[in-house]
Structure 1
Amino acid sequence: MQVRTVAVTTTALLGVALTAPLSHARATAAGDDGPTVVAHRGASAYAPENTLAAVDKAAELGIRWVENDVQRTRDGELVVLHDDNLRRTTDAEEVFPDRSPWKVKDFTAAEIARLDAGSWFGSAYAGARVPTLEQYVDRVERNHQKLLLELKSPESYPGIEQQTLKVLANEGWLDRRHVAGRLVVQSFSADSIRTVHELKPAVKTGYLGTPAVSDLPEYAEFADQINPSHTSLTMSYVSAVHAFTGPHGRPMEVFAWTVDTAAAARLVAGHGVDGIITNKPDVVRDAVGEDPDSSAR
């Protein structure tokens, strides 16, 4: 997307940010609980990423929020997988040796369902499968968890926004209870997130990246969250984001990724982030605490 230039200076915006409500982490210093902890691709330090086993491991650890990645097969099925190809986390090279480069979009759902998505991580997970989006959200629902859903490379899958929302609706995830506190849809594509907001304004959305402060008013029209790499964060940037009101009438939030050490978690919590996305959710939770009633605000 082309984000229009907003006639406001960074200095002015940061000045406004000083009057923003206390961030989650700063509230922690006053005695409240810490940022929301989100299990990245499930508890992916302890189970194969984006599998149902990783969702279950997060639940076992007491983690309420899980994050996943959604892509589309050749025959139009939505599956949960991070990479645009199957090589790293499945045995696709062995099962389909003549199908290089093993792109997700070149395989049918039935073919992907044949693949072992767990052995690469450890023998205990041999036979784990790449879940469909339906299977994934059903497991999250069964575990009474919440979902931060990433649309992966949406430019490769035209119409994936509408299709994802349809699956979520069919699975009962677009009712008031879910959209009020159990679902966020995010992407590195601002166009994709804008499309989600236009199709289903009730759904909370997040933009993955670190837009210029001068561009934040534009993002605030369609994104509830700005979710950057933790290495790019400063306290002043987080405060600037918090100064803007998102499309649902609440201050915009910041969820930082991917934080896997206690020291890094304490650092970004000190910057005032609202959430931390991590492969090791137990480590982060123990380092910074977590709001027991968190709904990714």
Structure 2
Amino acid sequence: MSARAVTATVTLVGFVGILVLPTAAEAAQQHDRPVVVAHRGGSGYAPENTLQAIDKADKLGFDWVENDVQRTKDGRLVVIHDTHLARTTNVEQVFPGRAPYNVRDFTAAEIAKLDAGRWKGAKFTGARIPTLTQYLDRVDHNHQKLLMEIKAPELYPGIEKDVLRLLGKEDWLNRDHVRNRLVIQSFSAASVRTVHERRPDITTGFLGTPAKGDLPRYARFADLINPSNGTISAGYVAAVHAFRGPHGKRLKLFTWTVNDAATARRVAGLGVDGIISNVPDVVRKAVGGGE
């Protein structure tokens, strides 16, 4: 057999994908240590999705951070996980009577008044929910890389366009960022597809565990398949790796959210390409892991 990969066209559920038999070099590469991503920043140690969490990940020595992006009532992009503000801020004290405290019901100026750190500990009092612009500036300052989730896009029609516009304004769509420092993901296949169609050069990821038979369809617009750690097996990881994504490269799999050494060793043994963790240092100690 030649050193080049052997490919075969596979038709499943009405979609055509490319099944890839790896070369020896590619097969060996699959067993490299997984990339370790700091989930919502160093969220095990600092308030999630805040600038403090990015800095904590940086101090721990991690290049890759993950975040969640939503849109305010007045159209600003902010970084927060929950679609409501109550769990991680003092919104009920600052704005009583405005339940259910949805992010989309508050302006950026109102959200900027909220304390997003005190819930994690008194030393974090005064931490704020950052705008996406503030977040990108800090990631750039730290020379880090970003796994960005578009959160609940069904609540924010057109958010993909807004995200791409802001990324361009902040010079995050230049060659270096797009090739080496940015991945955009979502639980919504439609949202991921929209990003890919608007900017096919950007690396994209789908959050979830598609059926193996559906992988050819996802491989048309997603470079990564990112499932929960409890839903995967060695067979599933191999099935993902058997296809090439929209950029002609082998699909990768990053799994979440792994916060203990035993689970880290288990998923690393399955051959995952990345592990997303609130406590990335715990994962790194257990399995090694890049970045």
Find the aligned partners of 2:115 and 2:21 in 1 and give their Cα distance.
49
CA deviation after TM superposition for structure 1 residue 222, in Å:
0.3
| Offset at residue 5 of structure 1 (A) | 1.6
Deviations 1:119-178 (A, max 9, x none): 000001000000000000110000000000000000000000010011111111101101
Shift in alpha-carbon separation, 1:111–1:79, aligned structure 2, 3 A: same
Give the whole-Å Cα distance in 2 for the aligned partners of 1:74 and 1:149: 21
The answer as to whether partners of 1:6 and 1:214 remain within 8 angstroms in 2 is no
Identity fraction in percent? 62
Aligned to 1:170: 169
Q: Give unmatched runs, 5+ long, in structure 1.
A: 29-33, 293-297
Q: SS of 1:27's equivalent?
A: coil
* Greater than 4 Å deviation, 4+ residue runs: 16-20
CA contact (8 A) 1:17 1:240 kept: no
Unaligned runs of 5+ in 2: 1-11
2:207 equivalent in structure 1:
208
Corresponding pairs, count: 279
The 5-angstrom pairing of residues 1-297 of structure 1 reads 5-6=13-14, 21-22=26-27, 27-28=31-32, 34-291=33-290
Q: CA deviation at 1:184?
A: 0.2
Query: Is contact 1:118-1:125 (8 Å) kept?
Result: yes
Q: Which TM-score applies when normalising by structure 2?
A: 0.92
Superposition CA RMSD, Å: 1.9
Preserved contact between residue 17 and residue 239 of structure 1 (Cα < 8 Å): no
TM-score, normalisation: structure 1: 0.90
Distance 1:87 1:104 in 2: 10
Q: Residues 230 and 17 (structure 1 numbering): CA distance in 2 closer, same or farther, change over 3 Å?
A: farther
- Tell me which amino acid in the other structure corresponds to 2:13: T
Report deviation, 1:27.
2.4
> Aligned to 1:22, what secondary structure does the other structure show?
helix
Task: State the distance in 1 between where 2:15 and 2:110 align.
Answer: 52
Q: Which letter does structure 2 place at the counterpart of 1:74?
A: K
Structure 2 match to 1:295 = none
In 1, Cα distance between equivalents of 2:265 and 2:21: 22
